[in-house]
Structure 1
Amino acid sequence: MALTIFLIMIAFIIIMQASIPFLLKKTLAFGVTIPEGYTDNKTVTAYKKVYSAINILLGIFALLGFAIWANQRALSEERIVLIGLSIQFGFLLICMVLYLYFHAKITRLKRSQNWGANLKQVRIADLAIRSKDEMLPTALYALPIMITIGLIAYTATQYGNMPDLIPTHWGPNGQPDAFSEKTPFSVVALLLILLVIQGMMLGIHVLTKRSGIKLNAAKSKTSQIQQLSFRKYTSWFLFMTSFLITILFGFLQLVTIHDGLGNEVIMLAFPLGFLFVILIATAVYAFKVGQGGSRIDVLVEEESAPGVTDVDDDQYWKAGVFYVNKNDPSIFVEKRFGVGWTINFGHPVGYLVLFVPILLIIAISLFL
């Protein structure tokens, strides 16, 4: 079962990584701003195709090699997990190296050909667009938190009936494979981790809701529709993820309290179902919406405004991945390579959002 899970995950990563260049706005390529009039440059298009082709070929080789090699040997699940994780991280590392290579190539191409020198850089601001924002209300994100608090209260009432050893980790087969002695802390540790995750999701939602809405200077009406759709679907996807994680962790907590609640089939099916739903939802979100709503169909026919392009802010993007701008009040900004949001590392709050939840989860785990 572990082998099947990792093969599915590796295949998913291959598909997503190979597709990323074509899920972005046309004005972005490998973390570099492409001015209006150069978005269909043949060299840039060729780089995208080469990146995707290399990813697919290497991915298929790794996928088939792992499957054939694992089937020819009687490997333990721990060994399969270790090798599967190594292949995933190794493949992602190769993808990053390829990305940096093409990022450098396009940066040099842009400079050598002086793209956009004859265009006026314009930043569009629409003060009324906030009233049209359809992101989910913040209060809705409190619902999973309330469920978790309720589970903590219920756990307290059932403390005397709980087993002496509390599961702290579950293997690929859905069965617990690590335990901790029962204490008032260990029985709610899983729920405390869940609260940290939910708090992080809530924080991300609040900060993305406050982030700037960047419109395309050449196609302001089209980009407005796409931006609003992107923000709406992103908030739904984030809430769905938070709710699904709550269901999974809540189920594991209830099984810990009531030992006979989940048989082997249910314990295997529940985490697998969670994984498949998350993967499918992620793929639908990425291919339906695209970065910044670039794949949203817009019925409004709009021709590009002549002689203008967006403000080139490549200087704030380190390697086209890390955004560092102290003058930008937005804590979260749209990614340049990938679908979703990234942190403004020029703002101190960004570091708190990134590192505090991680440190809290590590601290809870160490006290078990």
Structure 2
Amino acid sequence: MTMLVLTCLAQVALLTVAAWTLPVLARPTLPFGVRVPAGRTADPAVTAQRRRYSRAVMTLGVLAALTSAPAVVLRGTPDVLTATAVLLGAADVALYTAAHRAIRAAKRHGDWYAGTRQAVTADTTWRTHPVRPPWRLLIPSLALLAGTAAIGFARYGSLPDTLATLRGLGIDAQHRIATTPATAFAPVLSQTAITVLVPLLVAALIRARPETDAEHPVTSARRYRVYLHGIATLLLAGAACADLTLLLLALQQWDVLAPSPLTTAATWAPMAAIAAAFLVFGVRVGEAGHRLPSLSGESGSGYVQRDDDRHWHLAGTLYINRHDPAILVHQRLGGRWTLNLGNPVAWTVLTVLASLALLQLLGVIDLPPTS
């Protein structure tokens, strides 16, 4: 019960910190997903929404902690964790959306782009001299995958008729499933998916449309190169961390390691480390590298980045532009990338993913399980 309460409190803290940091880590010219000129980043309407959002998020986090922990004790089931995550997440999204709408209304009513010269910038060196990911970081992932598979093949013949299941943050020996090749080698299949998909994602991000600023094109291009190389490094290192966690989980399922609080802590330590690395990187570098120092000697171009709010929907998370050939674009929220739904290729990708999910739901195919 104590572990369940601590897990619930940790979940609330994680969601609250994540929601609070969203506007903090965002680019100054994109407060709450709204494009504003550089001269308006400290506008009273923007600062007021930042303060209001921060106070509301922290207040919700405290209330969620005070109500969810007693609920876990009374009910004694993990269902409270799911309900808390859904309700708190929905409330934080509502607060972010309200701030987005308020700033967008102030921008429209104040005509913030009046008298500015809007433009976009292009840099052909992204094609001739792209960012080179550190592909050598794939070696640990491949080694962990091969090692896990070798141990699995060696242990398979002596496994019991049932295996412990993954529940919460560790192995639940009380709930067991039948031993089959699919259940026994589920960690290996998950490792394979991660080891294949993460490099493909890195390769796609390298070719995605770069985030450069028309006001400072040279500085922004340099910053984005550093940012993109860092993201690629963290993703490839994260794949190795995920594979290591899966190896330790597999060893517990295969009765090589005995489940215990210490083992659980060691199992999830790699994922905690890479999550901390992403957070530190985001704080020091910022989204699209905007926190990095500027190049000395570069003066402003006299232009401001073009106001493209009309192409962004759902508080800056959904991008639709039929005239933009880019497939992947940098999202305005959370330092991620998203598909350009104005490009037919994006709909092809979504159709394939939806078809696979439907076929698995109907039982036609079996996708690799995650535990």
Quick one: which of 260, 263, 271 aligns to 1:264? 260
The answer to whether residue 87 in structure 2 is matched with residue 94 in structure 1 is no
How high is the TM-score relative to the length of structure 2?
A: 0.85
- CA distance in 1: counterparts of 2:304 and 2:80, whole angstroms: 47
Residue in structure 2 matched with residue 313 of structure 1 by the alignment: 308
- The 5-angstrom pairing of residues 246-285 of structure 1 reads 246-257=243-254, 259-285=255-281
- The 5-angstrom pairing of residues 285-364 of structure 1 reads 285-298=281-294, 300=296, 302-306=298-302, 308-319=303-314, 320-346=316-342, 347-348=346-347, 350-351=349-350, 363-364=366-367
**CA 1:93/1:354 → structure 2, altered by over 3 Å: closer, same or farther?**
farther
SS of the equivalent of 2:157 reads: helix
8 Å Cα contact 1:170/1:176 also seen in 2: no
8 Å Cα contact 1:12/1:279 also seen in 2: no
Residue in structure 2 matched with residue 8 of structure 1 by the alignment: 10
Q: Deviation per CA, 1:199-246, whole angstroms, max 9, x where unpaired?
A: 332222111011111211111232123211211111122122211110
**CA 1:128/1:275 → structure 2, altered by over 3 Å: closer, same or farther?**
closer
- The 5-angstrom pairing of residues 73-92 of structure 1 reads 73=73, 75-76=75-76, 79=77, 81-92=78-89
SS of the equivalent of 2:190 reads: helix
SS of the equivalent of 1:342 reads: strand
Counterpart amino acid of 2:265?
Answer: A
Shift of 1:314: 1.6
- CA distance in 1: counterparts of 2:152 and 2:122, whole angstroms: 51
8 Å Cα contact 1:345/1:351 also seen in 2: no
Aligned length: 361
4+ long deviations beyond 6 Å: 356-362, 365-368
Q: Which runs of no fewer than 5 residues in structure 2 stay unpaired?
A: none
The sequence identity of aligned pairs, in percent, is 25
How high is the TM-score relative to the length of structure 1?
A: 0.86
Quick one: which of 206, 211, 219 aligns to 2:208? 211
- The 5-angstrom pairing of residues 15-94 of structure 1 reads 15-67=17-69, 69=70, 73=73, 75-76=75-76, 79=77, 81-94=78-91
**CA 1:145/1:358 → structure 2, altered by over 3 Å: closer, same or farther?**
farther
Worse overlay, 259-268 or 118-127: 259-268
Counterpart amino acid of 2:253?
Answer: T
Shift of 1:43: 0.9
- CA distance in 1: counterparts of 2:31 and 2:351, whole angstroms: 29
8 Å Cα contact 2:191/2:246 also seen in 1: yes
Shift of 1:58: 1.3
Higher relative contact order (CA 8 A, sep 6+): 1
Counterpart amino acid of 2:81?
Answer: G
8 Å Cα contact 1:193/1:364 also seen in 2: no
8 Å Cα contact 1:344/1:350 also seen in 2: no
